[in-house]
Amino acid sequence: SFYVYSNATKKIDGGLEGRILALLQLKYSQPQIVKILKKDGINVSQQTISNIKRNIGLQRNSAEKIKFSQQRPVATPSTVSKVIQTIDANDPPTQRSIAKSCYASQSTISRIIKQASFTL
Protein backbone atom coordinates (compact mmCIF):
# COMPACT_ATOMS: atom_id res chain seq x y z
CA SER A 1 0.00 0.00 0.00
CA PHE A 2 1.11 3.57 -0.73
CA TYR A 3 0.74 6.44 1.74
CA VAL A 4 1.29 10.11 1.06
CA TYR A 5 2.63 12.60 3.56
CA SER A 6 3.35 15.90 1.88
CA ASN A 7 5.51 18.15 4.02
CA ALA A 8 4.82 21.19 1.85
CA THR A 9 1.05 21.14 2.32
CA LYS A 10 1.06 19.51 5.78
CA LYS A 11 -1.68 17.08 4.74
CA ILE A 12 -1.89 13.43 5.62
CA ASP A 13 -3.39 10.77 3.40
CA GLY A 14 -6.44 9.15 4.99
CA GLY A 15 -4.77 5.72 4.70
CA LEU A 16 -1.74 6.87 6.65
CA GLU A 17 -3.94 8.48 9.27
CA GLY A 18 -5.86 5.22 9.58
CA ARG A 19 -2.63 3.27 9.96
CA ILE A 20 -1.41 5.63 12.70
CA LEU A 21 -4.75 5.29 14.53
CA ALA A 22 -4.52 1.49 14.23
CA LEU A 23 -1.01 1.52 15.72
CA LEU A 24 -2.23 3.78 18.52
CA GLN A 25 -5.06 1.32 19.26
CA LEU A 26 -2.46 -1.47 19.46
CA LYS A 27 -0.92 0.54 22.32
CA TYR A 28 2.25 1.53 20.45
CA SER A 29 3.90 4.69 21.82
CA GLN A 30 4.38 7.73 19.61
CA PRO A 31 8.18 7.21 19.28
CA GLN A 32 7.59 3.55 18.36
CA ILE A 33 5.10 4.60 15.64
CA VAL A 34 7.65 7.09 14.24
CA LYS A 35 10.23 4.25 14.03
CA ILE A 36 7.78 1.80 12.42
CA LEU A 37 6.77 4.34 9.75
CA LYS A 38 10.41 5.38 9.19
CA LYS A 39 11.23 1.73 8.30
CA ASP A 40 8.55 1.99 5.60
CA GLY A 41 10.11 5.23 4.30
CA ILE A 42 7.51 7.58 5.79
CA ASN A 43 8.76 10.48 7.90
CA VAL A 44 6.14 11.63 10.39
CA SER A 45 6.81 13.65 13.53
CA GLN A 46 5.59 12.72 17.00
CA GLN A 47 3.65 15.98 16.99
CA THR A 48 1.73 14.86 13.89
CA ILE A 49 0.89 11.57 15.60
CA SER A 50 -0.20 13.50 18.69
CA ASN A 51 -2.46 15.72 16.53
CA ILE A 52 -4.06 12.67 14.91
CA LYS A 53 -4.49 11.10 18.36
CA ARG A 54 -6.31 14.24 19.57
CA ASN A 55 -8.51 14.30 16.43
CA ILE A 56 -6.97 17.45 15.03
CA GLY A 57 -6.48 15.45 11.84
CA LEU A 58 -10.07 16.28 10.89
CA GLN A 59 -9.27 19.99 10.89
CA ARG A 60 -5.76 19.63 9.44
CA ASN A 61 -6.94 17.74 6.37
CA SER A 62 -9.97 19.86 5.58
CA ALA A 63 -9.58 22.33 2.73
CA GLU A 64 -10.94 25.14 4.91
CA LYS A 65 -9.85 25.60 8.50
CA ILE A 66 -12.62 25.08 11.01
CA LYS A 67 -13.50 28.50 12.37
CA PHE A 68 -14.46 29.05 15.97
CA SER A 69 -16.48 32.24 16.20
CA GLN A 70 -16.38 34.05 19.49
CA GLN A 71 -19.84 34.82 20.77
CA ARG A 72 -20.94 37.52 23.14
CA PRO A 73 -23.23 35.74 25.61
CA VAL A 74 -23.27 38.64 28.11
CA ALA A 75 -25.60 40.96 26.18
CA THR A 76 -28.64 38.76 26.75
CA PRO A 77 -32.11 40.34 26.55
CA SER A 78 -32.40 40.28 30.35
CA THR A 79 -29.06 42.10 30.73
CA VAL A 80 -30.04 44.64 28.07
CA SER A 81 -33.35 45.41 29.79
CA LYS A 82 -31.61 45.64 33.19
CA VAL A 83 -29.06 48.13 31.79
CA ILE A 84 -31.75 50.25 30.11
CA GLN A 85 -33.83 50.34 33.31
CA THR A 86 -30.74 51.35 35.30
CA ILE A 87 -29.72 54.22 33.01
CA ASP A 88 -33.30 55.48 32.59
CA ALA A 89 -33.08 57.60 35.73
CA ASN A 90 -32.42 61.24 36.67
CA ASP A 91 -28.96 60.47 38.04
CA PRO A 92 -27.80 57.24 36.33
CA PRO A 93 -24.81 55.32 37.77
CA THR A 94 -21.53 55.04 35.88
CA GLN A 95 -21.03 52.42 33.17
CA ARG A 96 -18.37 50.82 35.36
CA SER A 97 -20.75 50.35 38.31
CA ILE A 98 -23.48 49.00 36.00
CA ALA A 99 -20.94 46.58 34.54
CA LYS A 100 -20.03 45.29 38.00
CA SER A 101 -23.66 44.75 38.95
CA CYS A 102 -24.40 42.91 35.66
CA TYR A 103 -21.15 40.90 35.72
CA ALA A 104 -20.23 42.27 32.29
CA SER A 105 -17.43 44.42 30.92
CA GLN A 106 -17.74 48.19 30.70
CA SER A 107 -17.40 47.95 26.91
CA THR A 108 -20.40 45.59 26.79
CA ILE A 109 -22.47 48.09 28.78
CA SER A 110 -21.33 50.88 26.44
CA ARG A 111 -22.32 48.78 23.39
CA ILE A 112 -25.77 48.05 24.89
CA ILE A 113 -26.34 51.78 25.53
CA LYS A 114 -25.27 52.70 21.98
CA GLN A 115 -27.45 49.99 20.41
CA ALA A 116 -30.42 51.21 22.45
CA SER A 117 -29.58 54.69 21.03
CA PHE A 118 -29.75 56.24 24.46
CA THR A 119 -28.40 59.74 24.98
CA LEU A 120 -27.50 60.76 28.47
Does pLDDT of 35 surpass 90?
A: yes
Question: What are phi and psi for residue 5, nearest 5 degrees?
Answer: -130, 105
Dist. CA 7–CA 17, nearest whole Å = 14
Residue % of the chain over a pLDDT of 70: 72
Which residues neighbour 51 within 8 Å (Cβ) at sequence distance 6 or greater?
57, 60
Per-residue pLDDT, averaged over 34-56, amounts to 84
Q: What is the pLDDT of residue 102?
A: 84
Per-residue pLDDT, averaged over 37-54, amounts to 85
Q: Which has the higher per-residue pLDDT, 59 or 112? A: 112
Strand (E) or helix (H) holding 6: strand 5-6
Does pLDDT of 68 surpass 60?
A: no
Per-residue pLDDT, averaged over 37-57, amounts to 81
Cut 0.75: pTM above it: no
